[in-house]
Amino acid sequence: MALVDQNTLSAQDAFQVRVMMALLNYVQGTVLAETTNEVQAVSIGGGTPASGAFVLSGGPLLANQVTVAFNDTAPGLQAKITAQLAEGATCQCLGGPLPGTPISATFTGTLADLPQVLMAASGSTLNAGTPAVTRTTAGVGAFRHAERLNLGSRVLESPEKYKVRFAQAVTTDAAVMAAFAGGGNQQAAVTDAHIATAVAAVYNSFLGA
Protein backbone atom coordinates (compact mmCIF):
# COMPACT_ATOMS: atom_id res chain seq x y z
CA MET A 1 0.00 0.00 0.00
CA ALA A 2 2.90 2.34 0.74
CA LEU A 3 4.18 2.12 -2.82
CA VAL A 4 0.70 2.86 -4.12
CA ASP A 5 0.53 5.92 -1.87
CA GLN A 6 3.95 7.07 -3.06
CA ASN A 7 2.93 6.78 -6.71
CA THR A 8 -0.37 8.53 -6.01
CA LEU A 9 1.30 11.47 -4.29
CA SER A 10 4.28 11.86 -6.64
CA ALA A 11 1.98 11.88 -9.70
CA GLN A 12 0.01 14.88 -8.45
CA ASP A 13 0.97 17.99 -10.39
CA ALA A 14 0.33 20.29 -7.44
CA PHE A 15 2.66 18.19 -5.29
CA GLN A 16 5.35 18.24 -7.98
CA VAL A 17 5.12 22.04 -8.10
CA ARG A 18 5.45 22.27 -4.32
CA VAL A 19 8.53 20.03 -4.43
CA MET A 20 10.03 22.11 -7.23
CA MET A 21 9.52 25.32 -5.23
CA ALA A 22 11.12 23.73 -2.17
CA LEU A 23 14.02 22.58 -4.34
CA LEU A 24 14.56 26.08 -5.77
CA ASN A 25 14.43 27.57 -2.26
CA TYR A 26 16.96 25.02 -1.04
CA VAL A 27 19.37 25.71 -3.90
CA GLN A 28 19.11 29.49 -3.58
CA GLY A 29 18.98 29.68 0.20
CA THR A 30 21.36 26.90 1.18
CA VAL A 31 23.51 25.54 -1.64
CA LEU A 32 24.45 28.91 -3.15
CA ALA A 33 25.05 30.30 0.34
CA GLU A 34 27.73 27.67 0.91
CA THR A 35 30.14 29.67 -1.24
CA THR A 36 31.97 31.33 1.65
CA ASN A 37 35.69 32.04 1.54
CA GLU A 38 37.93 31.80 4.59
CA VAL A 39 38.89 35.21 6.05
CA GLN A 40 41.65 35.63 8.64
CA ALA A 41 42.61 38.92 10.27
CA VAL A 42 46.21 39.89 11.04
CA SER A 43 46.52 42.43 13.86
CA ILE A 44 48.79 43.89 16.52
CA GLY A 45 47.31 44.40 19.97
CA GLY A 46 48.42 45.55 23.38
CA GLY A 47 50.65 48.34 22.14
CA THR A 48 51.67 50.44 19.14
CA PRO A 49 55.06 49.46 17.74
CA ALA A 50 57.28 51.87 15.87
CA SER A 51 59.65 49.23 14.58
CA GLY A 52 60.12 45.53 14.12
CA ALA A 53 58.34 42.69 12.36
CA PHE A 54 56.87 39.23 12.90
CA VAL A 55 56.38 36.03 10.93
CA LEU A 56 53.24 34.40 9.58
CA SER A 57 53.35 30.66 9.04
CA GLY A 58 51.13 27.59 8.78
CA GLY A 59 47.59 27.44 7.49
CA PRO A 60 47.29 28.10 3.75
CA LEU A 61 50.98 29.04 3.69
CA LEU A 62 51.81 25.35 4.29
CA ALA A 63 55.56 25.16 4.99
CA ASN A 64 56.26 28.72 3.83
CA GLN A 65 56.66 31.87 5.90
CA VAL A 66 55.85 35.55 5.42
CA THR A 67 57.61 38.39 7.22
CA VAL A 68 55.20 41.15 8.19
CA ALA A 69 56.50 44.64 8.96
CA PHE A 70 55.04 46.59 11.89
CA ASN A 71 53.49 49.06 9.42
CA ASP A 72 52.62 46.73 6.54
CA THR A 73 49.78 47.69 4.21
CA ALA A 74 47.02 45.52 2.77
CA PRO A 75 48.51 45.54 -0.78
CA GLY A 76 51.94 44.76 0.61
CA LEU A 77 50.77 41.85 2.74
CA GLN A 78 48.61 40.53 -0.12
CA ALA A 79 51.67 40.36 -2.38
CA LYS A 80 53.73 38.61 0.29
CA ILE A 81 51.11 36.00 1.14
CA THR A 82 50.14 35.29 -2.46
CA ALA A 83 53.79 34.73 -3.38
CA GLN A 84 54.02 31.92 -0.81
CA LEU A 85 50.77 30.10 -1.64
CA ALA A 86 50.54 26.99 -3.76
CA GLU A 87 49.98 27.42 -7.49
CA GLY A 88 46.43 28.48 -8.25
CA ALA A 89 45.78 29.81 -4.74
CA THR A 90 45.31 33.53 -4.21
CA CYS A 91 44.77 35.96 -1.34
CA GLN A 92 42.94 39.29 -1.21
CA CYS A 93 43.84 41.66 1.61
CA LEU A 94 41.82 44.65 2.84
CA GLY A 95 42.05 47.09 5.73
CA GLY A 96 45.26 48.22 7.38
CA PRO A 97 47.76 49.60 7.57
CA LEU A 98 49.28 48.00 10.61
CA PRO A 99 49.75 48.55 13.49
CA GLY A 100 46.58 50.61 14.01
CA THR A 101 44.15 48.70 11.77
CA PRO A 102 43.97 44.93 11.23
CA ILE A 103 44.43 43.51 7.74
CA SER A 104 41.92 40.88 6.59
CA ALA A 105 43.17 38.14 4.29
CA THR A 106 40.54 36.38 2.15
CA PHE A 107 41.69 33.13 0.54
CA THR A 108 40.51 32.57 -3.01
CA GLY A 109 41.45 30.68 -6.16
CA THR A 110 41.95 27.01 -5.35
CA LEU A 111 41.46 27.90 -1.65
CA ALA A 112 38.01 29.40 -2.23
CA ASP A 113 34.98 28.01 -0.37
CA LEU A 114 37.13 25.78 1.83
CA PRO A 115 38.03 25.79 5.52
CA GLN A 116 41.65 26.74 6.22
CA VAL A 117 43.91 26.09 9.19
CA LEU A 118 44.55 29.31 11.08
CA MET A 119 47.87 31.00 10.32
CA ALA A 120 50.18 31.58 13.29
CA ALA A 121 52.08 34.75 14.22
CA SER A 122 55.48 34.23 15.80
CA GLY A 123 59.08 35.43 15.87
CA SER A 124 58.14 38.95 16.85
CA THR A 125 60.78 41.68 16.96
CA LEU A 126 58.16 44.40 17.49
CA ASN A 127 59.23 47.00 20.05
CA ALA A 128 55.64 47.06 21.39
CA GLY A 129 52.44 45.08 21.03
CA THR A 130 51.71 41.45 20.23
CA PRO A 131 50.85 40.12 16.76
CA ALA A 132 47.87 37.81 16.34
CA VAL A 133 45.80 36.04 13.70
CA THR A 134 42.07 35.47 14.19
CA ARG A 135 39.46 33.80 12.01
CA THR A 136 36.71 36.26 11.11
CA THR A 137 34.88 34.07 8.56
CA ALA A 138 35.17 30.31 8.33
CA GLY A 139 35.44 28.86 4.84
CA VAL A 140 32.69 26.42 3.97
CA GLY A 141 33.56 22.77 3.59
CA ALA A 142 30.19 21.34 2.61
CA PHE A 143 29.95 17.69 1.67
CA ARG A 144 30.86 17.36 -2.04
CA HIS A 145 30.56 21.13 -2.29
CA ALA A 146 31.58 21.59 -5.93
CA GLU A 147 29.15 18.90 -7.05
CA ARG A 148 26.36 20.42 -4.96
CA LEU A 149 26.94 23.77 -6.66
CA ASN A 150 27.03 22.13 -10.08
CA LEU A 151 23.71 20.41 -9.49
CA GLY A 152 22.25 23.61 -8.07
CA SER A 153 23.21 25.51 -11.21
CA ARG A 154 21.54 22.88 -13.39
CA VAL A 155 18.39 22.96 -11.27
CA LEU A 156 18.15 26.74 -11.63
CA GLU A 157 18.67 26.51 -15.39
CA SER A 158 16.04 23.76 -15.94
CA PRO A 159 13.82 23.29 -12.86
CA GLU A 160 11.15 21.43 -14.84
CA LYS A 161 13.69 18.72 -15.63
CA TYR A 162 14.02 17.88 -11.93
CA LYS A 163 10.42 18.39 -10.79
CA VAL A 164 9.13 14.83 -11.27
CA ARG A 165 12.36 13.14 -10.21
CA PHE A 166 12.55 15.03 -6.93
CA ALA A 167 8.84 14.52 -6.29
CA GLN A 168 9.34 10.78 -6.61
CA ALA A 169 12.36 10.88 -4.29
CA VAL A 170 10.54 13.00 -1.70
CA THR A 171 7.75 10.40 -1.46
CA THR A 172 10.28 7.87 -0.17
CA ASP A 173 10.67 10.04 2.94
CA ALA A 174 9.01 8.36 5.92
CA ALA A 175 7.76 11.60 7.50
CA VAL A 176 6.18 12.75 4.23
CA MET A 177 4.34 9.47 3.72
CA ALA A 178 3.26 9.27 7.37
CA ALA A 179 1.66 12.69 7.01
CA PHE A 180 0.05 11.73 3.71
CA ALA A 181 -1.46 8.54 5.11
CA GLY A 182 -2.44 10.23 8.36
CA GLY A 183 -4.32 12.87 6.44
CA GLY A 184 -6.59 10.41 4.70
CA ASN A 185 -4.37 10.45 1.63
CA GLN A 186 -4.84 14.20 1.31
CA GLN A 187 -1.88 16.12 -0.08
CA ALA A 188 -2.66 19.03 2.24
CA ALA A 189 -1.59 16.88 5.20
CA VAL A 190 1.96 17.06 3.86
CA THR A 191 3.23 20.44 5.00
CA ASP A 192 5.79 22.63 3.24
CA ALA A 193 8.13 21.90 6.15
CA HIS A 194 7.82 18.16 5.46
CA ILE A 195 8.72 18.73 1.82
CA ALA A 196 11.59 21.11 2.56
CA THR A 197 13.17 18.66 5.01
CA ALA A 198 12.82 15.80 2.54
CA VAL A 199 14.30 17.83 -0.34
CA ALA A 200 17.35 18.67 1.78
CA ALA A 201 17.74 15.01 2.75
CA VAL A 202 17.62 13.66 -0.81
CA TYR A 203 19.60 16.43 -2.53
CA ASN A 204 22.96 14.71 -2.22
CA SER A 205 21.55 11.54 -3.78
CA PHE A 206 21.06 13.48 -7.01
CA LEU A 207 24.67 14.62 -7.33
CA GLY A 208 25.94 13.79 -10.79
CA ALA A 209 22.39 13.19 -12.03
The span from the CA of 106 to the CA of 126, in Å, is: 25
Q: Does the global pTM surpass 0.85?
A: no
The span from the CA of 5 to the CA of 8, in Å, is: 5
121: DSSP letter: E
pLDDT digits (tens, 9 = 90+) for 84-135: 999 999 999 999 999 999 999 999 999 998 899 999 999 999 999 999 999 9
The span from the CA of 121 to the CA of 85, in Å, is: 17
Strand partners, 108: 90
Return the domain boundaries, the chain: 2-33+143-206, 37-137
pLDDT digits (tens, 9 = 90+) for 27-79: 999 998 888 999 999 999 999 999 999 999 999 999 999 999 999 999 999 99
